[in-house]
């Protein structure tokens, strides 16, 4: 067996060995070049090998890499908190740093529950998510995820939090139903779930403003998130938005919640916060939460050894500097429009591709058995996984999305710094992989 650090290699899955990265490209030890059309896992948002970030990391590591959060605060963490909360909507004026998206959503549970305890409501402990959602692999975050494939493995270890139906018009809107009517119906379905769980026991709900890997870029119908905000206010339930994928520019805005006109009580960010240069994530909190937690017994939601370490924070500051100095969000909007137009052209030429959807530089589509009915292929065909391998063979990285029986979606999330000619190359490689998919798609009709 190989002495590999990656468990899957022990299970017989072969990965090439990456040697370096440059802009939107990664290279392996056999000299192959890959266009990183998924930013790895929707993470490498400023591309690979950015010198200024490497330089900022070197400088900070030489000055002080680590200090512990109950002994010191540090300049980079304070500055990062200041800049993030200034960019965030509403009075999300406080930040707590963790090391991964899972830790962020896990911290959000503890903060939500702690806030209710201090307000004299100790029974409000449930956090409701939705089907087709993913909030992380720790047992609390998995308990909130509607990840039908990953939950059963740990069934009895998870909290039995109920999950609400998703908001995904292509699959679940009724024929002829308006966007507004579907938004209302999907939000009402969530409300019914909260009421059935007993709002007196519900601390919060958690929602990805645009669902990522669990669905393949599910953009909710317009007004849906605003309705959820109203429902939460009415039922005295907190709203957690999981912007681990959508935060920090991925959709062409700093936060997707800003575009939707919604201020959550807690907002989780990860991935693009460090753009992959270091493990780092954060939870932004509204003032009323922090005041409640601070007013009480002094039981803090706690963090982790590396929470807010100076090296991680300095790295994220360098990433933020890069995003601002190079007007990267504007590029995401322009290149996103180019990518979307190209994807729609490819979908028109390949009838087994449907529902091109997305925003900024976060795009997805589904494979269907039949363009007229939109029926998905049998999950046993593993459409997304097969396509990811075809793309890899072309030198293009895309991300498999969806959960069986809807394991038929693909995500694109290239670095937000991608150039016009690189978007054209991405579309060319994707087109070649789609041509390779044709014989596979013919088998789905059986």
The two three-digit tokens of residue 76, written as one number: 């980079």
* Residue 326 DSSP code: T
Q: How far is the CB of 295 from ligand PMP (least distance, A)?
A: 30
Q: Does 364 bind ligand PMP (CB under 6 A)?
A: no
**Scanning the structure block, which residue is given the tokens 């909007």?**
333
User: Could you tell me if residue 130 is left (phi over 0), alpha (psi between -120 and 50 degrees) or otherwise beta?
Assistant: beta
- Alpha-carbon distance 237 to 265, whole Å? 10
User: How many helical (H) and strand (E) elements, i.e. helices and strands, does the chain have?
Assistant: 15, 14
- Alpha-carbon distance 440 to 309, whole Å? 48
**Contact partners, residue 425, CB within 8 Å, separation at least 6:** 35
Q: Does 136 bind ligand PMP (CB under 6 A)?
A: yes
Q: Does 208 bind ligand PMP (CB under 6 A)?
A: yes
Residues 95-114 contacting ligand PMP, CB under 6 A: 100-102, 105
Q: How far is the CB of 158 from ligand PMP (least distance, A)?
A: 16
The two three-digit tokens of residue 293, written as one number: 């937690």
Q: How far is the CB of 142 from ligand PMP (least distance, A)?
A: 10
Q: Does 45 bind ligand PMP (CB under 6 A)?
A: no
Q: Identify which of residues 308 and 377 has a Cβ nearer to ligand PMP in the complex.
A: 308
Give me the helices (H) in 46-168, please: 51-63, 75-87, 101-118, 139-144
Cα 52-55-59 angle, rounded to 5 deg: 140
Q: How far is the CB of 131 from ligand PMP (least distance, A)?
A: 14
Q: What are phi and psi of 281, to 5 degrees?
A: -150, 170
Q: Does 135 bind ligand PMP (CB under 6 A)?
A: yes
Stretch that binds ligand PMP, among 55-63, 132-140, 249-257, 338-346 (CB under 6 A): 132-140
Number of residues that bind ligand PMP (CB under 6 A): 15
Q: How far is the CB of 270 from ligand PMP (least distance, A)?
A: 5
The one among 26, 127, 213, 318 contacting ligand PMP by CB under 6 A? 213
Q: How many CB atoms lie within 10 A of CB 55?
A: 11
β 202-207/126-130 pair status: parallel
Q: Identify which of residues 267 and 427 has a Cβ nearer to ligand PMP in the complex.
A: 267
Q: How far apart are the first and last CA of the chain?
A: 39
- The 303-342 site mask, x for binding ligand PMP (CB under 6 A), equals ----------------------------------------
Q: Identify which of residues 34 and 134 has a Cβ nearer to ligand PMP in the complex.
A: 134
Q: How far is the CB of 434 from ligand PMP (least distance, A)?
A: 25
Q: Does 265 bind ligand PMP (CB under 6 A)?
A: no
Residues that bind ligand PMP (CB under 6 A): 41, 100-102, 105, 134-136, 208, 212-213, 242, 244-245, 270
């Amino acid at each position: 067996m190989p002495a590999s650090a990656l468990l899957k290699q022990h299970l017989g899955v072969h990965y090439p060995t990456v040697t370096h990265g440059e802009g939107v490209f990664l290279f392996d030890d056999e000299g192959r070049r890959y266009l990183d059309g998924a930013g790895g896992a929707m993470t490498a948002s400023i591309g690979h090998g950015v010198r200024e970030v490497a330089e900022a990391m070197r400088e900070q590591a030489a000055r002080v890499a680590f200090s512990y959060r109950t002994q010191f605060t540090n300049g980079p963490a304070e500055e990062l908190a200041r800049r993030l909360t200034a960019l965030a909507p509403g009075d999300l004026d406080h930040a707590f740093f963790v090391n991964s998206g899972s830790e962020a959503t896990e911290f959000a549970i503890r903060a939500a529950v702690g806030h209710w305890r201090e307000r004299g409501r100790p029974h409000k402990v449930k956090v409701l998510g939705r089907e087709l959602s993913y909030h992380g692999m720790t047992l609390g975050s998995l308990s909130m995820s509607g990840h039908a494939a990953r939950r059963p493995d740990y069934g009895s270890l998870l909290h039995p939090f109920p999950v609400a139906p998703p908001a995904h018009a292509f699959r679940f809107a009724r024929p002829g139903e308006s966007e507004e009517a579907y938004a209302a119906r999907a939000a009402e379905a969530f409300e019914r779930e909260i009421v059935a769980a007993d709002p007196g026991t519900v601390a919060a709900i958690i929602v990805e403003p645009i669902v990522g890997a669990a669905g393949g870029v599910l953009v909710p119908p317009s007004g849906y998130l605003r309705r959820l905000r109203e429902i939460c206010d009415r039922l005295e339930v907190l709203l957690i938005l999981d912007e681990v994928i959508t935060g920090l520019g991925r959709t062409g805005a700093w936060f997707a919640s800003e575009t939707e006109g919604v201020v959550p009580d807690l907002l989780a960010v990860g991935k693009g916060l460090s753009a992959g240069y270091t493990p780092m994530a954060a939870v932004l909190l509204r003032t009323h939460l922090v005041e409640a937690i601070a007013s009480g017994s002094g039981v803090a939601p706690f963090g982790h050894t590396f929470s807010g370490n100076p090296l991680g924070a300095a790295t994220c500051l360098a990433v933020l500097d890069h995003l601002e100095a190079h007007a990267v969000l504007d590029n995401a909007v322009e290149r996103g429009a180019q990518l979307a137009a190209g994807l729609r052209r490819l979908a028109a030429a390949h009838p087994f591709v449907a529902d091109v959807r997305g925003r900024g530089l976060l795009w997805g589509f589904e494979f269907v058995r039949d363009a007229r009915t939109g029926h998905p292929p049998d999950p046993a065909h593993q459409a997304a996984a097969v396509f990811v391998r075809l793309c890899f063979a072309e030198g293009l990285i895309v991300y498999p999305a969806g959960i069986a029986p809807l394991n038929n979606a693909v995500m694109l999330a290239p670095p937000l710094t991608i150039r016009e000619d690189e978007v054209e190359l991405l579309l060319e490689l994707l087109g070649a992989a789609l041509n390779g998919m044709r014989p596979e798609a013919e088998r789905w009709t059986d």
